[in-house]
């Protein structure tokens, strides 16, 4: 009898641990709105959908020269999204943004213990990155190499073999009044 109770308890604990592990994720959203004036409503709706569909921890980073808008609270991110329509946004300073993003990822426990991270290790959660760009800017500045890979590499999420197994990267490019979504590999 006690073996059955122990076995049942073990199975329940195992299932709960697996369920809680599979539910953990963190979401980072980067927005370059400086040259995307035509599609602000669609971009805002896309960002809201990403954040509302996930109950994860999140960081919303809206680039603005050396004065980005950053929020990680659900109560404040909508205020920052509303500012997209009201403010004039400067072109990103990509290296400056990478430094600030790295700081935000560390401060919000998205990234830690980088020295132990490798292509073969598992993270305690899934990391989702969403990047919004104007397509011309994305192509002209080679942002997949100069910005996205650089950011991922310095956070031990990109290796010679490719993207870390617990990291997903989505790139949204605005062009001709539509947004296309691509998966980064």
User: Could you give the 3-state DSSP secondary structure of residue 67?
Assistant: coil
∠ Cα 172 84 79 (to 5°) = 110
Mean predicted confidence (pLDDT) in 5-27 = 54
For 142-169, write each residue's pLDDT tens digit: 999 999 999 999 999 999 999 999 999 9
Model confidence at 107, pLDDT cuts 50, 70, 90, reads: very high
Of all helices (H) and strands (E), which one includes residue 147? none
Q: Which residues contact 114 (CB under 8 A, 6 or more apart)?
A: 155, 156
Q: Domain coordinates of the chain in residue numbers? A: 21-110+134-181
Q: What pLDDT does residue 40 have?
A: 87
Cα separation of 169 and 28, whole Å?
Answer: 10
**Higher local confidence (pLDDT), 37 or 23:** 37
Cα separation of 9 and 3, whole Å?
Answer: 10
Work out the mean pLDDT of the chain and round it to a whole number.
85
């Amino acid at each position: 009898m006690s073996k059955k109770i122990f076995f049942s308890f073990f199975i329940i604990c195992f299932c709960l641990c697996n369920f809680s592990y599979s539910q953990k994720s963190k979401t980072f959203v980067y927005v370059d709105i400086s040259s995307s004036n035509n599609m602000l409503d669609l971009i805002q709706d896309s960002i809201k959908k990403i954040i509302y569909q996930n109950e994860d921890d999140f960081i919303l980073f809206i680039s603005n020269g050396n004065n980005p808008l950053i929020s990680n609270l659900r109560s404040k991110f909508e205020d920052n999204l509303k500012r997209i329509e009201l403010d004039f946004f400067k072109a990103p300073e990509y290296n400056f943004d990478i430094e600030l993003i790295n700081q935000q990822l560390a401060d919000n426990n998205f990234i830690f213990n980088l020295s132990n991270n490798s292509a073969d290790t598992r993270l305690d959660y899934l990391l989702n990155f969403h990047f919004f760009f104007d397509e011309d800017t994305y192509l002209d500045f080679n942002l997949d190499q100069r910005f996205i890979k650089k950011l991922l590499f310095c956070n031990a999420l990109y290796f010679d073999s490719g993207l870390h197994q617990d990291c997903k990267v989505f790139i949204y490019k605005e062009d001709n009044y539509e947004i296309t979504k691509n998966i980064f590999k």
